[in-house]
Amino acid sequence: MSERGLDAAKRGHCHKLQMTYWVMACLLYEEGRPHQQLQAESNKARLQELARQGFSRVLVLGGCCETCDKLNGKKFTIAEALEKMFLPQSKCQRGWCVCDWGVDLNSFR
């Protein structure tokens, strides 16, 4: 992550960072260029934003393809999700993984 990105995250602008990475990934995808790293950074910023909001656990909202369905509904701590970076799925059969993170409402502090 760039210095500017780290600064934005520290100031609680994770949502803006998420959307910036997402738009950049979309542009690369539309051009047929590798986009997965930027899509992963978007997901990372989303997880950081959920943690900032007071959640400690998330669940995978899958349904993209057979590969992604294997994770659908599985719960992880945000720390574990950030460490293992499950989304986007590297073997997603769609090309653009549309899986997302949902919150475990019981994990709100």
Q: pLDDT by residue (tens digit) across 10-69?
A: 566 788 899 999 999 999 999 999 999 999 999 999 999 999 999 999 999 998 899 889
Q: What is the pTM of this model?
A: 0.84
Which parts of 1-109 fold into alpha helices (H)?
3-10, 14-30, 36-52, 66-69, 78-84
Spatial neighbors of 53 by CB under 8 A, at least 6 apart, are none
Domain layout of the chain by residue ranges: 3-107
Compute the half-sphere exposure of residue 52: CA atoms within 13 Å on the CB side of its CA. Answer: 14
Look up tokens 């990372």; give the residue.
44
19 neighbors 49 (Cβ within 8 angstroms): no
